[in-house]
Amino acid sequence: MSEVEYRQAQFSAPAGATDILLIRHGESAPARPDRPFRLVDGQGDPELAPAGQEHAQRVAERLADEPLDAIYVTTLQRTAQTAAPLAARLGVTPRVEPDLREVHLGEWEGGVFRQKVAQRDPVIQRMHAEQRWDVIPGAESAESLRNRVRTAIERLAAAHPDQRIAVFTHGGVIGEVFALATDSRPLAFLGANNGSISQIVVTDERWIVRRFNDSTHVDDGLSKTATALS
């Protein structure tokens, strides 16, 4: 009589769940004090830097053989430019999800935020200490960000049960998704690398974290310094 064995179970997405790959856009153009980024609906809209274009190609190579049922981008061009190589390979037209655009930085839009980070502005220190964006003058509140990100993820999940989708989005949004999924501090997951892949599985009852900041495909020196946003 054979001995009974119980092997470790492997993860299997629950029936009806949506598998969401969250890809941070590639590195965007540098901020220059004398040449602020153009604004789209009040938010900075830089294009990809050359390194970001390479990030986009590497994301496409990494995901080319993944079964994807849809690709989403935001209203800001850096996400569409990052998604473009993968969309071309798969013959898929990206859809736009406006509510997954980046955190609104109020008076620090247009590239000012990056300057303040580099200068170690006291407001940046306070932002991290208090775990909220709206210490920046005119910036989006924690409640506003949380509500729109939660609503957008739930909307995508409802539209894609039992499917896998790729969402090209932003560092602040990815951080908020993982804060919601884990009930962590609001900024605990801030700083995903450009071109990185994070993953959650969404059900009606919970959001299941599968990976965060998977960036092996871009980790060879293309972008050693990741900024929190933009």
Looking at residue 35, the DSSP 8-state letter turns out to be B
The pTM for the full model equals 0.94
Angle ∠(189,172,26) on CA atoms, nearest 5:
100
Report d(CA 173, CA 2) in Å as an integer: 52
Please report, in tens digits, the pLDDT of each residue of the chain (230 residues total).
678 999 999 999 999 999 999 999 999 999 999 999 999 999 999 999 999 999 999 999 999 999 999 999 999 999 999 999 999 999 999 999 999 999 999 999 999 999 999 999 999 999 999 999 999 999 999 999 999 999 999 999 999 999 999 999 999 999 999 999 999 999 999 999 999 999 999 999 999 999 999 999 998 755 444 445 65
Domain 18-102+142-218: give its CATH architecture.
Answer: 3-Layer(aba) Sandwich (3.40)
Residue 1, classed as helix, strand or coil, is: coil
Q: What share of the chain is helix, strand, coil (3-state, %, to 5)?
A: 35, 20, 45
Report d(CA 146, CA 143) in Å as an integer: 5
Bridge partners of 73, per DSSP, are 96
Q: Domain map of the chain by residue range? A: 18-102+142-218
Contacts of 229 (CB under 8 A, 6+ apart): 102, 103, 105, 113, 114, 170, 171, 172
Residue 61, classed as helix, strand or coil, is: helix
